[in-house]
Amino acid sequence: MPVLGIVENMSGFICPHCGQTVDIFKRGGGGGEKAAEAYGVPFLGRIPLVAELVEKSDQGIPAVVYSEEMRKIFDEIARKVREQVEKKPHSGTDSSM
């Protein structure tokens, strides 16, 4: 299965009280970007950890429905995934036919 890229999940925690991003995991060098570079695949984006998102997800409500910020993040990732899919030839297709 071809890897289309890497998404960095739980990239920083957005404080529900003040809205500031708190780096609970070390993000300094950008772990996602480093991994993408090491594997030679595109870096697709980062999804922050948001308390509200966890609650709503448990209720079955996707983040993109109520959060403009999350919608932008997911749209951008989806756009990059699409770019990769359109770029790559379909694996399993015999081009010699």
Residue among 23 and 37 whose Cβ is closer to Zn ion: 23
90 touches Zn ion (CB under 5 A): no
Task: Give the residue at shortest CB distance from Zn ion.
Answer: 15
Give min distance, CB of 30 to Zn ion, in A: 23
Give min distance, CB of 16 to Zn ion, in A: 8
Residue 3 backbone phi and psi in degrees, to 5: -95, 125
Residues 6+ away with beta carbon under 8 Å from 39? 3, 6
Site for Zn ion in 7-36 (CB under 5 A): 15, 17-18
Give min distance, CB of 50 to Zn ion, in A: 12
Burial label for 5, CB within 10 Å (0-12, 13-18, 19+), is middle
Give min distance, CB of 27 to Zn ion, in A: 17
Q: How many residues bind to Zn ion according to rule CB under 5 A?
A: 3
Which parts of the chain fold into alpha helices (H)? Answer: 31-39, 51-58, 63-66, 68-87
Give, as one character, the DSSP assignment of residue 46: E
Q: Which residues bind Zn ion (CB under 5 A)?
A: 15, 17-18
